[in-house]
Amino acid sequence: MKETRPGSGLYHAHYLLDCRLDNWFRLLNENGWHIEKRKIPQFLYMLGTSLLLTLPTLLEALIFALPIRRHKIEKAPVFIIGHWRSGTTYLQNIMSRDPQFGWCDPVSTTTFNNSYLLGWLTSRVQKKVLVDARPMDNMKYGLDLPMEDVFALNLISTHSIIHMIAFPRNYEKYLHEAFVEDQPARAQRQWARSTMYVLKKISLRKHGRRLLLKSPDHTCHPAALQKLFPDAKFVNIHRDPYVTIMSTINMFKKQMELIRLAELPDADMDDLLETVITGLFERMYKKLFAMQDSGAFGPGCMAEIAYTDLEKDPEGCLRRIYDQLQLDGYDAALPEFRKYIDAQKGYVKNKFTIGPRLRSKINSHLGFYFERYGYAMTEE
């Protein structure tokens, strides 16, 4: 696999490049200040960038502290949830064409700490480096498409599942912290404070438009999001678990090789990733189903679609989402939806072959998911 190096797009697109200096120290401290030897040049480059940006980061934080604190998110956000590789990106990209929504553009997200004062500069840089920033599939980034809000949270907080990619030896910590409701009260408050700061700043940049947000890790903690926004709306997109988990394993393998800073765990990584991802899938959906069955999502607060339905009939799925969430604006946005959908018709998906070990793990742990959505479980 090709190594990251100075001058390559992915080297400069590392998700921690704009990490706030205090957050760097917290991350390093909880990971024993250990960086893999061959990753030291990349780490020093990133740390140097953070040092260079410290003054403008502080200046932006001071200038916008009061406006962000006073800003109110009047319209409850729409959260697109679903496991990694289940179609969340495609769905958000389509829905983001509706002008009623505000969303996390690359400048607001990957350069969150300097999105106001240096946005004019970082947008120019990102036009060059984001093109090849998705090594796991054939989808392209662009400044006119949304990104995951978790990448903004990464820059100011250690409470993010994505940090396990940079520090994979500590993966259990970051996996567990994704389930916010299971954390101590203090950790829950820290997560809530950081998340609210991120969303209020982005909402301010988007002039108060209803936020359309997507991060698969939100599927681990919809109750925590509902606590922040009691009227939040959720769209749950699901997909065949065999395909979803195989694609997720491929994604994490590629991302860990490209952006990890510490060594991999001393284990068979194929076996470990299969176990970890299947276990994460099981835990997140058992929690989500328990919430749904308890009636936690009131009328107009939850919509569900299958990825295969979105592929076959995207307009019909979007109409159903808008109806179920009691959202206006579908007809007005339909021409823009069609433009994006038509532009994706040549998209080629990755193909994977499942091995008997992984199939056995999925069948053993996800029977409840197969039954819930009617996916066919196979033995070979």
Q: Report the candidate in 1, 110, 99 with the shortest Cα–Cα distance to residue 53.
A: 110
pLDDT in tens, 72-85: 999 999 999 999 99
Residues 6 or more apart whose Cβ sits within 8 Å of residue 72: none
d(CA 374, CA 353): 21
Residues 6 or more apart whose Cβ sits within 8 Å of residue 166: 15, 16, 27, 259, 260, 261, 262
Q: Report the candidate in 41, 37, 46 with the shortest Cα–Cα distance to residue 14.
A: 46
In which band, very low, low, confident or very high, does the pLDDT at 128 lie, cut at 50, 70 and 90? Answer: low
The pLDDT > 90 percentage for the chain reads 83
Give the pLDDT of residue 2.
39
In which band, very low, low, confident or very high, does the pLDDT at 213 lie, cut at 50, 70 and 90? Answer: very high
- pLDDT at residue 51 greater than cutoff 60: yes
Residue 251 tokens, joined:
């994604």
pLDDT in tens, 150-196: 999 999 999 999 999 999 999 999 999 999 999 999 999 999 999 99
d(CA 161, CA 80): 17
Residue 287 tokens, joined:
């929690």
In which band, very low, low, confident or very high, does the pLDDT at 143 lie, cut at 50, 70 and 90? Answer: confident
- What rounded mean pLDDT belongs to the chain? 91
In which band, very low, low, confident or very high, does the pLDDT at 4 lie, cut at 50, 70 and 90? Answer: very low
**Range with top average pLDDT, 22-31, 120-129, 344-353:** 22-31
Residues 6 or more apart whose Cβ sits within 8 Å of residue 241: 281, 362, 366, 369, 370, 375
- pLDDT at residue 133 greater than cutoff 80: no
Residues 77-106: what's their mean pLDDT?
97
In which band, very low, low, confident or very high, does the pLDDT at 352 lie, cut at 50, 70 and 90? Answer: confident
Residue with tokens 């140097």: 48
Residue with tokens 């299958």: 306
pLDDT in tens, 297-325: 999 999 999 999 999 999 999 999 999 99
d(CA 371, CA 278): 16
Q: Are strands 101-102 and 233-238 parallel, antiparallel or unpaired?
A: unpaired
pLDDT in tens, 236-248: 999 999 999 999 9
Q: How many angstroms from the chain centroid is the CA of residue 65?
A: 25
Q: Say if residues 86 and 136 touch (Cβ distance below 8 Å).
A: no
In which band, very low, low, confident or very high, does the pLDDT at 125 lie, cut at 50, 70 and 90? Answer: confident
Give the pLDDT of residue 123.
78
Residue 155 tokens, joined:
């820059």
In Å, how far are 66, 121, 214, 222, 288 from 234, measured between CA atoms? 30, 34, 10, 8, 11
Global pTM value: 0.92
Burial 214-225 (b: 16+ CB within 10 A, else e): bbbbbbbbbbbb
Q: Report the candidate in 152, 147, 172 with the shortest Cα–Cα distance to residue 161.
A: 172
Residue 81 tokens, joined:
């949830």
